[in-house]
Amino acid sequence: MELSEVRRRRRMIRRYSPAEVPEPALSRILAAGLRVPSAGFTQAVSLLVLTGADRERYWSVTTDPTAPADRWLIGMRTAPALILVWTDPGAYLDRYAEPDKGWTDRDPDRWSAPYWWVDAGMVALAVLFAVVDEGLGGCFFGTPPERVEAVRQAYDVPQTQCLVGVVSVGEPDGPAWIPKRPRRAAAELIHRGRWTPTSDFIS
């Protein structure tokens, strides 16, 4: 599928059919997620794939069993595969303290935008694009902060890892979620030369 078509088709899918994601497709999705820029070639964004009982364990440790499930949760729990995106800030601080980067310490205040978050975002988007390219649906969502430690313990994840978010994957069951807010015009978001609205943007 052409990249332009992948971008056009990408939507957040919040309900899935029970069909499992074929392993070859899942492997290609994961491989695509790692083919993104990596600051300093640090390569410190990792993916934890959950299917079957492992997937169910994620929901059991991140939700309150005594609280009624809302529409979002009911739909998202139908996803047959979850891909958890983790990043290691310490690996980036170590990498940029190496001689070729010119810094001599690991001070995170040097970073105007911490690359460990930037790289993780690139990985998540690459995964979402690859999901569409496989003819499947996906959605990126976050884990409640107070539940992250439970996720670490459930899957033996090292304390050095920070959970950025989760990508659900599967065959869509029903239409994609349509945001209630309108899409902002490109002219409001694209600036040329100075921070003023642009009227000549071509999408």
Distance between CA atoms of residues 150 and 154, nearest Å: 6
Q: What is the mean pLDDT of the segment spanning 166-175?
A: 91
Phi, psi torsion values for 114, nearest 5 degrees: -55, 120
Q: State residue 177's pLDDT score.
A: 66
The answer to whether residue 44 sits within a structural domain is: yes
Distance between CA atoms of residues 11 and 138, nearest Å: 7
Q: What is the CATH number of the domain that holds 30?
A: 3.40.109.10
The answer to whether residue 7 sits within a structural domain is: yes
Domain count, the chain: 1
Range of the domain at 22: 3-189
Q: Is 103:110 a contact under the CB 8 Å cutoff? A: yes
pLDDT in tens, 65-101: 888 888 889 999 999 999 999 999 999 999 988 888 8
Q: Is 85:124 a contact under the CB 8 Å cutoff? A: yes
Q: With bands split at pLDDT 50, 70 and 90, how would you rate the model's confidence at 54?
A: very high
Beta sheet of 137-141, edge-to-edge order:
45-51, 81-87, 162-170, 137-141
Q: State residue 3's pLDDT score.
A: 63
Q: What is the mean pLDDT of the segment spanning 178-185?
A: 79
Tell me the pTM: 0.88
The answer to whether residue 203 sits within a structural domain is: no
Q: With bands split at pLDDT 50, 70 and 90, how would you rate the model's confidence at 150?
A: very high
Q: Is 68:149 a contact under the CB 8 Å cutoff? A: no
